[in-house]
Amino acid sequence: MSDITVFAADKFITMDPNMPEATHVAVRDGRVLAIGDAQCADAWGPVQHDDRLKGATVLPGLIEGHAHMMAGAIWRYAYVGYHDRIDPEGKLWPGLPDADAVVTGLKDYAKGLESDAPIVGWGFDPIFLTSERLSRDHLDQISPDRPIAIIFSNFHLMCVNSRALEMAGYDAGTNVEGVIMGQNGRPTGELQEMAAMFPIMRRLGIDFRGLSQTPEAIRAYAKVAQRAGVTTITDLFSSMEDEDVDVMLEVTSGDFPLRIVPVLGAMGDPATIADKAERLAKRSTDKLRMGAVKLMTDGSIQGWTARVRWPGYIGGQPNGMWNTAPEAIYALCAEMQARGIQMHIHVNGDEAAEVSLDAIEAALSAHPGQGHRHVLQHCQMMDRDLYERAAELGCCTNIFSNHIWYFGDQHVALTLGEDRAHRMDAARSALDAGVPIALHSDAPVTPLGPLFTAWCAVNRRTMSGRVLGAVQCLTVPEALYAITMGAAFTLKLDSEIGSISVGKRADFAVLGDDPTGVDPMALKDISVLGTVSGGTVHLL
């Protein structure tokens, strides 16, 4: 048997301008050997032909530059979000339109649990509620004596019932930032950001690390990725304990269909974090790439916890929260830049983006160096001036385009107002400024699906059907580039993946239709038939 396999497809779209399209790709040792027609690899010796991709359009394996491993295992909890959603097994969970539907849905769900087990839901988003805010009183209707926690879709907030508050010791006398108090002086049940949520999570056994680091969680993540045509994905804030890394190395060895780029969460002493990142980089394998770090700066815009520049939120809410204080952002940027460690920096609000760019600028003047490719993540409110600065500083941006569809109408009405909502997720401004871009879902915050994300960047439709900021729309080729080569560049993996080019990994997304041939509005409806990872075919 030959060690060269020639795959035939309706069309390979390579993302390589030297040979943009082909009907055949030859693979040897998991890498692309030749591109062209059925005879493309004949000069290399005997070949075998593989027709399993025939009839499909094949793209480079799609790359998700900002997602979280718990997108697989979070489904152990009840989904209570507003939008319909499909789980890793392909089951549809219908969206729940209001707080009453959440209460009813969780009552049903609780019947399937042990009688004293905590009831945990996820995916809820108060911004879609037209009535009052979800509170402990709603959740007490489900059960007064079992602890209940609803994790919001942005993972920055939650709402819990009276029993859970009691377990954490939160009461009228509590003075912890993020424990929200009602008119009556007692906690409403809503908890904002990590410091407030952590005591509850610990007592209810909600462990974001546990949702990421078991073999089942990692395999569930691979399943979610395969359904989306994704062959390389990040886990963009990981505690990366040694035993977790052992598990990831074990699970991802062999024919595992996914390359994972776990990124170390940078909370704490900068030198200690840098030491750990350097140690992790040395343990990298083909399927597990380590060594970068993630900074969390502000919160989320739809939770009113993002740090925004003047004039702030249209409802007059206070200006957000820092998960990492500006001085600490400066210290982390200086240390990572000095040590040559790539940073991914969460910035939702424009003040957070500005502070982060200031910190990077300071770090670069203290420790000059090229090719760092620090990546600003989300970049939702970055205006032209901030993109120009990102370009000057050699930064990349990974833009949260899914927000336009999921939250665009709410941003107009409730958070930023018409004008600033128009320039949210401003991919066109980024490209005009010369900043390399990727586009992302932040799964499980929104569903993983780069073709959908590309659709958002191309069409900028909101849920109500309006076009938000038409001037920021990308073309289909620009968006497809961003979810392949663009994302590869932000991960410093562009020499290995992102295009179908000789020498690169044979990672493909196998699609039911040609994304460059359909109406741009149909981009999101193209079916994913499976993936090819390192030359191994994984059809659904």
> Where does this chain bind Zn ion (CB under 5 A)?
442
Question: What's the CA gap between 444 and 227, in Å, rounded?
Answer: 14
Give me the least distance between CB of 257 and Zn ion, in Å please: 23
Give me the least distance between CB of 68 and Zn ion, in Å please: 6
Residue of closest CB approach to Zn ion: 442
| 353: number of Cβ within 10 Å | 31
Amino acid identity, position 173: G
Between 70 and 421, whose beta carbon lies closer to Zn ion? 70
Give me the least distance between CB of 238 and Zn ion, in Å please: 11
Between 64 and 442, whose beta carbon lies closer to Zn ion? 442
Give me the least distance between CB of 66 and Zn ion, in Å please: 6
Using DSSP's 3-state secondary structure scheme, residue 346 falls into strand
Between 445 and 510, whose beta carbon lies closer to Zn ion? 445
Between 155 and 170, whose beta carbon lies closer to Zn ion? 155
Give me the least distance between CB of 400 and Zn ion, in Å please: 9
Using DSSP's 3-state secondary structure scheme, residue 109 falls into helix
Using DSSP's 3-state secondary structure scheme, residue 478 falls into helix
Question: What's the CA gap between 423 and 192, in Å, rounded?
Answer: 27
Closest CA to 452 of 257, 230, 304: 230
Closest CA to 251 of 292, 212, 294: 212
Question: What's the CA gap between 492 and 488, in Å, rounded?
Answer: 6
End-to-end Cα, the chain, rounded Å = 26
Between 445 and 523, whose beta carbon lies closer to Zn ion? 445
Residues 6 or more apart in contact with residue 341 via CB below 8 angstroms = 274, 277, 278, 291, 292, 293
State the chain's maximal CA–CA distance in angstroms: 80
Between 442 and 496, whose beta carbon lies closer to Zn ion? 442
Give me the least distance between CB of 237 and Zn ion, in Å please: 7
Between 335 and 442, whose beta carbon lies closer to Zn ion? 442
Amino acid identity, position 540: L
Between 12 and 221, whose beta carbon lies closer to Zn ion? 221
Helices 242-252, 215-227: axis angle to 10 degrees equals 50
Give me the least distance between CB of 334 and Zn ion, in Å please: 24
Give me the least distance between CB of 299 and Zn ion, in Å please: 11
Residues 472 and 428: beta-carbon distance below 8 Å: yes
Q: Where do we find the tokens 């990077």?
A: 360
Following DSSP, what letter does each residue of 427-450 receive, concatenated?
HHHHHHHT--EEE--TTTTS---H
The DSSP letter of residue 540 is: -
Closest CA to 421 of 412, 413, 430, 429: 412
Give me the least distance between CB of 62 and Zn ion, in Å please: 18
Give me the least distance between CB of 76 and Zn ion, in Å please: 19
Between 151 and 526, whose beta carbon lies closer to Zn ion? 151
Between 125 and 442, whose beta carbon lies closer to Zn ion? 442
Q: Which helix (H) or strand (E) holds 291?
A: none
Angle CA 424–427–432, to nearest 5: 125
Kindly report whether the peptide bond that precedes residue 311 is cis, defined as omega within 30 degrees of 0. Answer: yes
